[in-house]
Structure 1
């Protein structure tokens, strides 16, 4: 559990309440627990009576001095990790207490004065980038920074660096964001140089994603992954294998790619097991084809599938559609189950395949427009070209009681598919522009789309450019031979 999650769970569990709650009730300083009464229910504090100061409670006394915050846990022999969590608890408790005091002051000022400004009700003044948010980040970062300096624990220092990057991403203040990123990268480089595997891997991810330099830099990422893999980091070993596999930051080397895949797969890495499964199934990267062993790797990967690595589920689903003699039996129902699992993990091709099955009644599915549109939408939201185009077709004809016919939506989704390079979507855009489906009717634009579609291999577009008329029938949902789409 991360430190932030630990603090959150601690607050939610109520462990920050004063231990002598019953005694405080008897003294009139706290309320018995009952129905929620606003902010005060969170800390069981009664609102202070007008013109009368309450004596400080134990947890409030600890909030009076930053010096006490740092010295108290040290006097009790806490290790740096416990000390950091303790100070974060106090910081968050203080923030909550200050919010309650502000609430009480606003209530005492009258029921109307403090709500006249709509921004107060919308809490727009607390949106990311505002000084209030920046102050909160600054205080929390300072707590992290002080404790990171006090310890030689690389894990704590790494978490501080990662926290700075996460915090910086949500800030609109570009100068502060840049300062946080620079400080984090400097710390990560030092930790990586000292052999901290997680820092090496994280830094490599920063370079490969383009975060560090504005564009992907595998020349810097690759050696960091190699170093991290030597320290036993499974994902770094997988990434190293991919670099050798695809020639990213190094020359292609099939033997080394397989070597690193096997190293990561031995640690149950789902991506490595999936890649080994495909390589072994089809005899790639110099590996002798062995369908039986390939399927075994795919099954192992599917059992450890994650949103990042759902690919084995999709591969197995395809195998159970067609079967492999004496190895994989044909089982349409099981294929649907595997596709569904992958789609739930966010795998767009699986969601698209389910959309097809529910639209045309494939793999034992009954035709169901609602489910078809649902799965097409899941895939289209991830910019899957075929799914975008299929969704455009549904909008073009509509489905009674499920989806209203909407030419404008059909145009938008077809355009998305065409911009992704789908030839039949380019042809559809040409037709839409020719007959006036969408914003405007434009013959010149239609010709441009037909040219793009023809160049991409769509024969209908070539015929249309030669003057062959279009047979504009619409049969979406009935068969797969809709002339337009």
Structure 2
């Protein structure tokens, strides 16, 4: 199918436009072409045919731009990746949205949108996204504050492999936070899991907290 315009830009066949765009990885180039005519605009907004890779490869493109501190371009590819079902793309697009990068400010609308994408990523087994949903319930960002749900989501995140959530649960059980009754055995269980999931060399504060508390609790239980 061909369309026509006095400029000649619309004489490009739709399938050719899609192929051309599928080789462009710089969002600025894609946007410039999309501004020329409807053919390019439709191709740019189209499906996987006009994209330079699979959904996970689009997420990798986003990471490349993020590493280069080109956040606008990173957001573009993370959103494309998220739209096509990649949980890593969903996680990072949500993270940028939550921080206000996609709308210029941190707003409740941004928080709601971020939670939506983190939950989508969580459904696909993304541990960090699941942790972020838990913290949103803890703080009341994008959802009603609900400590019971925060605990529920942290449990899910820990089961998916998030060491931070395991450590958070250990502290919650140790000190009886968020409606829990203090329980040293339950706390020790979660601290031990956090140590298994974490990396001693990464020197994460939550890992060190887990290590210290696990050591103290093990000594206390041994002496009891």
Give the equivalent residue in structure 1 for 2:7: none
Give the equivalent residue in structure 2 for 1:310: 205
For residues 397-456 of structure 1, give each alpha carbon's deviation from its aligned partner in whole angstroms, at most 9, with x where no partner exists.
xxxxxxxxxxxxxxxxxxxxxxxxxxxxxxxxxxxxxxxxxxxxxxxxxxxxxxxxxxxx
Q: Which has the bigger relative contact order, CA under 8 A and spacing at least 6?
A: 2
Q: How many Å separate the matches in 2 of 1:311 and 1:184? A: 29
- Pair 1:156 & 2:57 matched: yes
Alignment of 1:216-295 (within 5 A): 216=106, 217-295=110-188
Distance 1:280 1:317, change over 3 A: same
Query: RMSD of aligned C-alpha atoms?
Result: 3.2
Give the equivalent residue in structure 2 for 1:409: none
Give the equivalent residue in structure 1 for 2:20: none
- SS of the aligned residue for 1:212 comes to coil
Match of 1:327 among 191, 216, 221: 221
User: How far does residue 253 in structure 1 lie from its aligned partner after superposition?
Assistant: 1.1
| Greater share of helix | 2
- SS of the aligned residue for 2:221 comes to coil
For residues 128-184 of structure 1, give each alpha carbon's deviation from its aligned partner in whole angstroms, at most 9, with x where no partner exists.
xxxxxxxxxxx9969xx9xx95655111122112223333x2xxxxxxx5xx72x44
Distance 1:271 1:316, change over 3 A: same
Match of 1:209 among 99, 104, 109: 99
CA contact (8 A) 1:302 1:310 kept: no
CA contact (8 A) 1:141 1:164 kept: no
User: How far does residue 281 in structure 1 lie from its aligned partner after superposition?
Assistant: 1.6
* Unpaired runs of at least 5, structure 1: 1-83, 85-138, 170-176, 330-485
For residues 233-271 of structure 1, give each alpha carbon's deviation from its aligned partner in whole angstroms, at most 9, with x where no partner exists.
111111111111121221111221111111111122111
TM superposition score normalised by structure 2: 0.65
User: How far does residue 319 in structure 1 lie from its aligned partner after superposition?
Assistant: 6.9
Distance 1:140 1:157, change over 3 A: closer
Distance 1:191 1:320, change over 3 A: closer
The number of aligned residues is: 176
Q: How many Å separate the matches in 2 of 1:301 and 1:279? A: 13
Q: How many Å separate the matches in 1 of 2:25 and 2:118? A: 31
Alignment of 1:72-471 (within 5 A): 149=50, 151-167=52-68, 169=69, 181=72, 183-216=73-106, 217-306=110-199, 307=202, 309-317=204-212, 326-327=220-221
CA contact (8 A) 2:87 2:121 kept: yes
Distance 1:204 1:150, change over 3 A: closer
TM superposition score normalised by structure 1: 0.32
* Unpaired runs of at least 5, structure 2: 1-22, 31-48
